[in-house]
Amino acid sequence: MRPIRVLVAKPGLDGHDRGAKVLARAFRDAGMEVIYTGLRQTPEQITQAAVQEDVDVVAMSILSGAHMHLLPKVVALMKEEGVYDDTLVLGGGVIPQEDIPLLKEAGIQEIFTPGTTTEETIEYIKNNLKRDLS
pTM score, two decimals? 0.95
Residue 132: inside a domain = no
Phi/psi of residue 6, nearest 5 degrees = -120, 130
Residue 127: inside a domain = no
d(CA 61, CA 34) in angstroms, rounded, equals 14
* Model confidence band, residue 131 (pLDDT cutoffs 50, 70, 90): confident
List helix spans (H) across the chain: 18-29, 43-53, 67-81, 100-105, 118-128
Residue 87: inside a domain = yes
Residues ≥6 apart with Cβ < 8 Å to 85: 130
Residue 94: inside a domain = yes
Q: What is the pLDDT of residue 134?
A: 61
Task: Quick: pLDDT tens for 47-86.
Answer: 999 999 999 999 999 988 889 999 999 999 999 999 999 9
Q: What is the CATH number of the domain that holds 75?
A: 3.40.50.280
d(CA 94, CA 114) in angstroms, rounded, equals 7
Segments forming the whole domain that contains residue 79? 5-119
* Model confidence band, residue 102 (pLDDT cutoffs 50, 70, 90): very high
Residue 81: inside a domain = yes
Residue 106: inside a domain = yes
Taking residue 29's Cβ as centre, other Cβ atoms within 10 Å add up to 11
Side chain identity, residue 122: I
Measured CA to CA in angstroms, residue 105 lies from 75, 111, 126 at distances of 11, 12, 22
Residue 130: inside a domain = no
Residue 22: inside a domain = yes
Number of domain units in the chain: 1
